[in-house]
C-alpha cells in the first residue's frame, strides 16, 4: 500500500483528497462510485452519532480509565500479546460512551 489510510469515523469526508490523480472527471466519478459502495455496505451512519457524542462530552472524563494498564496493553499490544478484546462494563449513565 502507498500512503497510510489514516482512518477517521467521519463517514463522508472529501473523497477527492484521497485520490491522487490529475483527472478531475475521473475523481468525481470515482468519488460518486465510492459513495454508492459505502451506501450499499450499510445504511447506518455511526459518524452522525459520534459527532453528537463529541459535542456533548467533557474532556478529561474517565481519564483514569485511559491510563489503566489494561487499556494501554489493549491499545499497544500486537498480535498475541495483550488481550484483544476489552469489555468495559458499567451501568447506564456512568459515562462509558463519553470516554474521551
Partner 1 sequence: MIDRLLEHFRGENIAVACVYCDFQDHERQTAANMVGALTKQVVNALKMVPPEIEEEFKRAGSEIGGRGLQVVETVKLLGRALAPVNRTFICIDALDECSDKHLSQLLTSLQTISQTSPGVRLFITGRPHTRSAVEKYLPGSLQVIPFSPNSQDIREYLEMRLKHDSDSGEMSPALKADIMKRIPERIPDAYVIANSIIEAASNR
CB of 71 to partner 1, least distance (A): 7
The three grid cell numbers given for residue 10, joined into one nine-digit string: 467521519
Residues that bind partner 1 (CB under 8 A): 1-9, 11-13, 18-20, 33-34, 36-38, 40-47, 49-50, 53-54, 58, 60-66, 68-71, 74-75, 77-79, 83-92, 94-97, 99-100
Question: 35, 46, 54: which is closest to 97 by C-alpha?
Answer: 54
Cα 52 to Cα 40: distance, rounded to the nearest angstrom: 24
Q: Which is nearer to partner 1, 25 or 93 (CB)?
A: 93
Q: Which three cell numbers stand for residue 36?
A: 454508492
Amino acid at each position: 500500500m502507498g500512503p497510510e489510510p489514516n482512518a477517521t469515523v467521519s463517514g463522508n469526508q472529501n473523497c477527492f483528497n484521497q485520490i491522487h490523480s490529475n483527472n478531475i472527471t475521473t475523481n468525481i466519478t470515482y468519488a460518486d462510485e465510492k459513495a454508492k459502495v459505502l451506501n450499499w455496505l450499510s445504511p447506518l451512519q455511526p459518524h452522525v452519532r459520534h459527532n453528537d457524542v463529541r459535542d456533548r462530552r467533557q474532556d478529561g472524563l474517565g481519564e483514569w480509565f485511559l491510563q489503566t494498564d489494561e487499556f494501554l496493553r489493549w491499545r499497544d499490544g500486537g498480535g498475541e500479546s495483550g488481550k484483544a478484546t476489552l469489555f468495559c462494563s458499567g451501568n447506564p449513565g456512568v459515562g462509558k460512551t463519553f470516554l474521551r
